[in-house]
Chains A and B, each alone.
Chain A
């Protein structure tokens, strides 16, 4: 473990790979650690139509491949591992990986976020048996079936619209009386003949027998409880940042997002953060890329005075 990196980037999504491109081009000795394979949450979607530079849109897998190739072209190394713990040694940072220990002058945390669970009875039991967190992956299994999407943000409505290509009927269950999503997605959803929106409604229980059969739902305004027969439930109620492993090292906000300054600096000297794990990223590929690049530039400046 004698090797000391200039920077170790945790996470190979859009933020981490964009940062790696910049640190590589700045001739910094760069290692990217990824616990699965490059991509991140964008691989959960079927198509990206709002990343600038691709007027016809682009498939997430292709975009990821492009990000990865461009970072590797400038010398970034990407390895499969994850940091379980981050601690300081002299003026360096030690990352405790599953495979080995790593030593680095700076750390860039770009570990993203994972899908929030509903937290109701039956959800875990029927995950993979009707409950899903990825319509791109699983819509295929619900041809001509009746499904529900729970949520009211961009992600939920994107999932609902994708599901209309497969399912017979898509119910969108939302706890409020209006959506948070972009207007264009709201209009497409509400106008769609296969979609029914259940406003002011929460799910109380996922009911099944071997597989999901129905949902017990409650109208929060009237208090009325009813049973909704269907075949699939897609949960899209937001994300939880992957910041647990550094919660004792850097300051987090009340939602667990890493607090960052203007230069994507955290509360620790030499530790930067970018993308969905931070409090500065509105969960878009373009903003993940932007914050990743900003962090790379800032840590390069920091290393010049190291």
Chain B
């Protein structure tokens, strides 16, 4: 995992994501979710290649349950892109890297 990626929880979500000056990509995942592992290299790619424009964090839905519920997460992997506290893009499922990068980079 890229050193630019940090973990967030229900406790620090507001501080780390909603109040961030940079756009934030939140990767909702779980250990037992195979397709979550499939998109991990793509999340790494975003963290490395957009490090000046984007903050990348992961939230383990097994450990933090109220934030996923608040954002209506019912399928993972789910990537939500936040700008100034608002969701501007939602990507559900293990899509190809090129597609995910296209969908995110147009906002950056």
A residues engaging B (CB < 8 A)?
A: 35-37, 39, 42-46, 60-61, 80, 82, 98, 127-130, 132-134, 136-138, 140-142, 210-211, 232
A42 to B39, CA, bound (A): 15
State whether A128 touches B38 (Cβ < 8 A).
no
Residues of chain A within 8 A of B72, CB atoms compared: 129, 210-211
Is there a chain A Cβ closer than 8 Å to B40's Cβ?
A: yes
Is there a chain A Cβ closer than 8 Å to B61's Cβ?
A: yes
State whether A130 touches B39 (Cβ < 8 A).
no
A98 to B61, CA, bound (A): 32
State whether B41 touches A136 (Cβ < 8 A).
no
State whether B74 touches A80 (Cβ < 8 A).
no
**B5-23 residues at the A interface, CB under 8 angstroms:** none
The 6 closest A-B pairs by CB, nearest first: A43-B34, A128-B92, A35-B96, A128-B75, A36-B38, A137-B33
A39 to B37, CA, bound (A): 9
Residues of chain B within 8 A of A132, CB atoms compared: 74-75
Interface CB pairs A-B, < 8 A, 18: A36-B95, A36-B96, A36-B97, A37-B41, A39-B34, A43-B34, A43-B35, A44-B35, A61-B34, A61-B37, A80-B97, A127-B92, A128-B73, A128-B74, A128-B93, A134-B75, A137-B33, A232-B74
User: A65 to chain B: closest CB distance in Å?
Assistant: 10
State whether A138 touches B34 (Cβ < 8 A).
no
A80 to B45, CA, bound (A): 11
A45 to B32, CA, bound (A): 10
User: A167 to chain B: closest CB distance in Å?
Assistant: 13
Residues of chain B within 8 A of A130, CB atoms compared: 74
State whether A37 touches B74 (Cβ < 8 A).
no
Is there a chain A Cβ closer than 8 Å to B42's Cβ?
A: yes
State whether B39 touches A137 (Cβ < 8 A).
no
State whether B74 touches A137 (Cβ < 8 A).
no
Additional 19 contacts, C-beta under 8 A, given A136-B32, A137-B33, A141-B74? A36-B39, A36-B42, A36-B96, A43-B38, A128-B78, A128-B90, A129-B72, A132-B74, A132-B75, A134-B33, A134-B35, A134-B93, A136-B33, A137-B30, A137-B34, A137-B77, A138-B74, A140-B30, A140-B62
Chain B residue with Cβ nearest A44: B34
Is there a chain A Cβ closer than 8 Å to B76's Cβ?
A: yes
State whether B32 touches A46 (Cβ < 8 A).
yes
Is there a chain A Cβ closer than 8 Å to B36's Cβ?
A: yes
Is there a chain A Cβ closer than 8 Å to B104's Cβ?
A: no
Is there a chain A Cβ closer than 8 Å to B49's Cβ?
A: no
**B22-55 residues at the A interface, CB under 8 angstroms:** 30, 32-42, 45
Residues of chain A within 8 A of B76, CB atoms compared: 137-138
Residues of chain A within 8 A of B37, CB atoms compared: 37, 39, 43, 61
The 8 A CB mask of B66-108 against A (1 = contact, 0 = none) is 0010001111111000000000001011111110000000000
A37 to B41, CA, bound (A): 7
Residues of chain A within 8 A of B42, CB atoms compared: 36-37, 80
A250 to B77, CA, bound (A): 34
User: A248 to chain B: closest CB distance in Å?
Assistant: 21
A137 to B33, CA, bound (A): 5
